[in-house]
Each structure stands twice: as C-alpha cells, then as structure tokens.
Structure 1
Amino acid sequence: MKSRQDNLSGSSSAGSDLSVFFLTGIPGLEAMHFWISIPFCSVFAVALLGNCTILYVIKTEPSLHKPMYYFLAMLAVIDLVVSATTMPKSLSIFWFNSREISFTACLVQMFFIHSFLCMETAVLLAMAFDRYVAICNPLRYATILTNSVIAKIGLLALTRAVLLVVPVPFFLSRLPFCQSHIISHCFCEHMAVVKLACADTRFNNIYGIVATLIIVGLDLMFITLSYSKILRSVLRVASKEEQLKAFSTCVSHLCAILIFYTPVVLSSIIHRFGHQVAPHIHILMANFYLLFPPMMNPIVYGVKTKQIRIRVHLLFQGKRF
C-alpha cells in the first residue's frame, strides 16, 4: 500500500498532466476500507430503495398528487442524485482500489454534489412554505400552491443552484496544479481540491464560504420565519386536539430539516475549528452528511406520514392500492 501511494505521489508531483487525479479514500484507514465499505454500501442500498419506493408510491397513487408530496418527490430525486454521484466511486476505491479520476470528472462530480445540496435546502424551504400555507391559509391552499407555482418553485431552486455553483468548478479549473494530484478524500470535495493548487486560492475560499452562508443562512432564516408564523397561528387555536393535529403535519418536515442541517453544521464546525481532529474524522463526517439524509428522509416520511405508510405497506404485501 505504501509503495502504491509513493508511486502515485511521485508520478503526480513530477508530471504536469492535469487529466488525472487520485482519490485516497479515507487516509489513515486504508487497511479498513473493506470493512468501512459494508456500512457505506448498506446505507447506499437503503437510500436507493427508500427514495425509489417514495417516488413510485407518489407516482402511482392519485391521492398523493398534492403539493406536499410533489415537494417530497423532488427531495427524493435530489437524494438519489447526491447518493449516485458520490457512492459508486467511493465503493470502487474501497473494493477495487480504483483511485484514478479525470480532472473533468472531478469537476463534474463537485458540481453535482454542491448544486444538488443547494437544491435540497431550497426544497426544504419550499416544504416549510407549504406547511405555512396549509396551516395559516388553509382556504387558499389550492389556489396558492397550484401545479404551475410548484413547477416554478422547482425551476427557481434549480436556477439558483446552477448560478451559485457553476463558478466553483469554473474558477477551480483555472488554477494551476503543479505539485501533488492526490486528493485526500473519497470524492472531489471543493476544499480538498483547492488545497492542491499552487496559487493564491483566497478567492475560491471566500466564494465558497459566502455562497454557503447565502444559501444556508437565507434558507434557514425563511424556514424559521415560516415556523414562527405557524407556531403563532396554531397557538391561537383553542382546542388542544386541533393544535396537536396541526403540529403533527409538520413533524416529518421538521425531522427532515434536522437530518439535513445537523450534519452540515457539525461538519462545518469540525472543518473550521477542529484543527486537532484527525483527517479521517473530517472525511467520515463529510460522507455522513451526504449519505445520512438520503437514507433517513424516506424512512421518516414513510413512518410519520400515514398516507405513504399505508401505501408502502400495501406495496410490499403485493396488493393493489
């Protein structure tokens, strides 16, 4: 293993060819790659099965053709793309020691990861707006959240993601990589690649931080605003039973928010302030926040949403809806 890494280091340092980079997997845990692949593969399989099931149930059941479930279908598609973008390459490293990745493929992978994560937070915001309208303006729900409006929200989320993320690989492609081509990661994470450039990367660093703050900061602010209005509206309801019923419709979405944002915040804190934390912890956390939401979202919505739970149960029993 050591000679293999030395060869990679020597070849990538000596050559100026930008066409090939090398992913290390999880540095320091190379001997455990096979065993690490077992939970990774299991989580990936659950994410694929769960999100495909959610999409199938929503598509085939007419009673689920409603705004809330359309947004859930968008979330499932995003989670599938994020999982499929990262895990196949990671597993090929763990199982076959296939570390090579072209620079173009690296930039494409980076674009898909960051743009679809940006879309996911936008969809979570749209789902918060959906809950706000359903609880605070129930009589206008059908007229506000029409199919046309939902399509425009999805298009807006996609446009914002593309506009904010396209500069990341574009500016990265213009940097010189005259030394090591070894990326200390399982996938082409932005900062892991930036560190290899032998030029001033302050602009890349600043842009990455500012874009993240704009995306996460604004979306979280509007999600918080939506739920503050929901809370105020629900507390005005006299009946405790009606309050619980209103809150119960938000449980799945609140869980999805915690599932998505908690790993992101923890990973950011460790990355920015955990200078004494071992590198493999950083990488495991980065994989965690990419894999955990795609696995958990269909489970949460399958368990907490009665309509989906019933139809999934019927599906696996082999019965017609």
Structure 2
Amino acid sequence: MTYTNETQTKDFFILGFPGLLPQYHGPYYGPVSATLFVMYLAIALGNTFILTFIFYEKSLQKPTYLVFCHLALNDLAFGTVTLPKIISKYWLDNSIISFYGCFAQMFFVHYLGAAHSFILLVMALDRFIAICIPLRYPVLITNKAILLLCALAWFMPVSLMLSIVLHTLTLPFCKSNVIVQCYCDHISITSQACGEDVQTVQVATLCMAMFCLLLPLAFILFSYFSIIVIILKMSNAEGRYKTLATCTPQIFITCLFYLPRCFVYVANTVGFSFSLDVRILLVLLYSVFPAAVNPVIYCFKTKDIKETLMNKLRKTKIGVQIKLSH
C-alpha cells in the first residue's frame, strides 16, 4: 500500500491510564486529577520558591546555586508543559489536543529533557573542578562562566529537537489518533504514523536522544567517579564527609533523572514487559516526580541554602514574637 504525506488526523486523544476505573475520574474531586494537581502545585511552588529565594538572597548567587536555578526553571517548564493537559482530562473530561498542539508538546517534552541532561553535565563539571582541581576553581568557574555554559545547555538541543519535529511532520498519519500516554511524546505520535519512513524517523530520533542523554551521562559518571576516588584518598574522615556533603544534592538529583530511565530501557531490552498502566505510570513518575522533589533536595541537602533559609525563618519568628509582645 502506498501512502501519501497528506495528514488525515486533525486532533489527538490523550488516553491517560486506560485501566483506571470510572469512579476515579470524577470532575474536580477525582483522586487522579487531585493527585496530579497537587503534584503540579508542588512543582510550581517549589521551583518558583527556589528561583525567587536565590534571586533575592545575594549570598547564594554563586555558580553552584545558579545551576540549581536553571534546573528549577527547567523543572517548572516541564511540569507546565505536561501536567495541565492530563489534569484537564481527569478534571474536566477534556482529552482532545490539536494535531499541532500535540507536536508542540512533543517538542517541549524532548527539548526540556535534553536541556536538563546538559544542565546536569554543567552541574557535574562544577563539582568536578571544585573537588578535583580546587585551586583552579575560582578562575575556571565563575558566575559568568556558569551562565554561559547553562546558555549552551539550553541552546544546543533546539536544532536537534526541531529537526525531530519537522522530520516527524513529514509522516502520514492514518492510524488511530489515540496517544497511549499522559502527554504527547515521539513514540506515542510515531506509533500512529504509517508508511515506509516511520522506522527511519524512529531510528534517527533514537540516535539523537541517545546523544543528548548518553554524552552528558558519560561525563557525569566520569566526574563523580573521579570525585569518589579523591574522597577515598583523603586521610581525614571529617574532610571526606564534608567533601562528600558538597556534592550529595547533585548526586541525588542526577540519580533521580537517570536511574529510572535506565531501569525502563534495560527492562525493555532484556524483555521484561510492564502492563500498559504501569508503563505509563513509570514514565510519568520518572519525568515529573523529580521536578517536585528537587526543590526539597536543594533546601534540605544543600548546607548554604538550608542555613540561609533557617536564619530567615528564625528572624521572621523573632519578629512575629516581638510584634505580639507589643
């Protein structure tokens, strides 16, 4: 059968969780929409707080915390791109997304994921230089240098992701218009395409995705391995603990981003299959859950941020007590 490039699909239908019973769908008060809304609220408030707190607290405007700002902005954008639509499905029973709206969402999903990966690389570079060559750190890692590196992390994936979207748009869509996912991504969209070029597009996209994920991951593994070697060579136990504490938040954040993805990819490679609902839930958790958890890690696992925050709270408490006493 010969297909033309004429697209027959005008809209896509977001499936969400296909095995979910109808009683969990309820408008406004439904447990699924409520859970997703609380998660989005946590992402929005938590990451906005981090951005605002570091912006107004001059003592925290250092290279390490500027990287946190870029991660917070990325997490905030990703949550905003993905969650409102699936919330509206279960909250307002609105499952329809326009054809080009779905492609726009796909672009931002993959672009923000790739940018996040490159920002994690910048974060690993910051810790690598700080611990492995500390004497060069003040010269090599400045606020201006970090802003430039983070700008590159945001800019580099743009052309790659645009090429993926434009390449996918050339495909004819003549299958079902159901997106078997909570948001539009490349796999769910191309699975609705037909024609001889589908596999070519999928392979090319996979290569670009591996470049954006595995290239940063290779350097990240190298940098943290080097850091661990340096720490193990330290004779002072207190020095080892303090040095490890300076990169603990970065390790947690990196693990939250990469480990679930690696688990899903490895499980699929070895033939371990998940049910459709479990697979969708796993994808939602490893893509959205870190965005909600990261602000907590910044606040409670980063010494300077935690101490500054606690000092602010103490001063506020003292001020309130003084006002009440008068």
Q: What corresponds to 2:126 in structure 1?
A: 130
2:17–2:182 contact (8 Å) kept in structure 1: yes
Shift of 1:271: 4.9
Deviation at 1:153, TM superposition (A): 0.7
Q: Which residue of 1 aligns with 2:167?
A: 171
| Partner secondary structure for residue 316 of structure 2 | coil
What is the distance in 2 between the residues matched to 1:138 and 1:273? 42
Q: Displacement of 1:96 after TM fit?
A: 1.0
1:221: how far off? 1.1
Name whichever of 253-262 and 164-173 sits farther off.
Answer: 164-173
Return the alpha-carbon distance in structure 1 between the equivalents of residues 314 and 83 of structure 2.
30
Task: Report the Cα offset of residue 117 of structure 1.
Answer: 0.8
Q: What is aligned with 2:48?
A: 52
84 and 67 in structure 1: CA distance in 2 versus 1, 3 angstrom threshold: same
Q: Supply the AA of the counterpart residue of 2:185.
A: E
Residue identity in the other structure for 2:18: P
List structure 1 runs of 4+ shifted beyond 4 angstroms.
Answer: 270-276, 314-318
Relative to structure 1, the CA distance from residue 273 to residue 20 in structure 2 (aligned partners, 3 Å threshold; closer, same or farther) is farther
State the identity %.
32
- CA distance in 1 between counterparts of 2:148 and 2:168 reads 31
The residue that corresponds to 2:189 in the other structure is 193
**Given that residues 27 and 185 in structure 1 are in contact (C-alpha distance below 8 angstroms), is that contact kept between their aligned partners in structure 2?**
no
Within-5 A mapping of 1:70-81: 70-81=66-77
Q: Residues 115 and 202 of structure 1: is their aligned pair in 2 closer, same or farther, counting only changes over 3 Å?
A: same
Q: 1:104 aligns with which of 96, 100, 104?
A: 100
User: Partner residue of 1:22?
Assistant: 13
**Does the CA-based 8 Å contact 2:122-2:149 persist in structure 1?**
yes
Match of 1:140 in 2: 136
- Structure 1 residues 126, 266: CA separation in 2 closer, same or farther (over 3 Å shift)? same
Greater mean deviation of Cα atoms: 92-101 or 257-266: 257-266
For the structure 1 residues 272 and 91, does the alpha-carbon distance in structure 2 shift closer, same or farther, using more than 3 Å as the test?
farther
1:222 aligns with 2:219: yes
Number of residue pairs matched by the alignment: 307
CA contact (8 A) 2:89 2:95 kept: yes
How far is the alpha carbon of 1:73 from its aligned partner?
Answer: 0.3
Conserved? CA contact 2:63–2:143, under 8 Å: yes
Aligned equivalent of 1:239: 236
Aligned to 1:304: 301
1:218 alignment partner AA: L
Aligned equivalents of 1:98, 1:313: Cα separation in 2: 43
Assess if the C-alpha contact under 8 Å between 2:66 and 2:143 holds in 1.
no
Q: Which residue of the partner structure matches residue 147 of structure 2?
A: 151
Alignment partner for residue 250 of structure 1, among 226, 247, 251? 247
Would the alpha carbon gap of residues 266 and 30 (structure 1) be closer, same or farther in structure 2, given more than 3 Å must change?
farther
Shift of 1:37: 2.2
Letter in 2 for 1:25: G
User: What letter matches 1:63 in structure 2?
Assistant: S
How far is the alpha carbon of 1:276 from its aligned partner? 4.3
Deviations along 1:9-66, whole A, 9 cap, x unmatched? xxxxxx9643322112211215233322232222221111111111111101111110
Residue aligned with 1:166, SS: helix
Deviations 1:132-183 (A, max 9, x none): 1111222221210123321221122122211221122111111111232121
Deviations 1:190-227 (A, max 9, x none): 10111101213111221232122222221111011112
Q: Is residue 15–residue 179 contact of structure 2 (8 Å, CA) maintained in 1?
A: yes
Note the C-alpha offset of 1:313.
3.8
The answer to whether the Cα contact below 8 Å between 1:86 and 1:109 also exists between their aligned partners in 2 is yes
2:110 corresponds to: 114
SS of the aligned residue for 2:12 comes to: strand
> Secondary structure of the equivalent of 1:250?
helix
Please say if residues 267 and 273 of structure 2, whose CA atoms lie closer than 8 Å, have aligned partners that are also in contact: no
Q: TM-score, normalised by structure 2?
A: 0.88
Cα distance in 2 for residues equivalent to 1:252 and 1:276: 32
Report what 2:280 is aligned to: 283
Match of residue 263, structure 1, among 260, 270, 273: 260
Cα distance in structure 1, aligned partners of 2:64 and 2:138:
11
C-alpha change, 1:138 and 1:275, in structure 2 (3 Å) is closer
Cα distance change on mapping 1:67 and 1:224 into 2, 3 Å: same
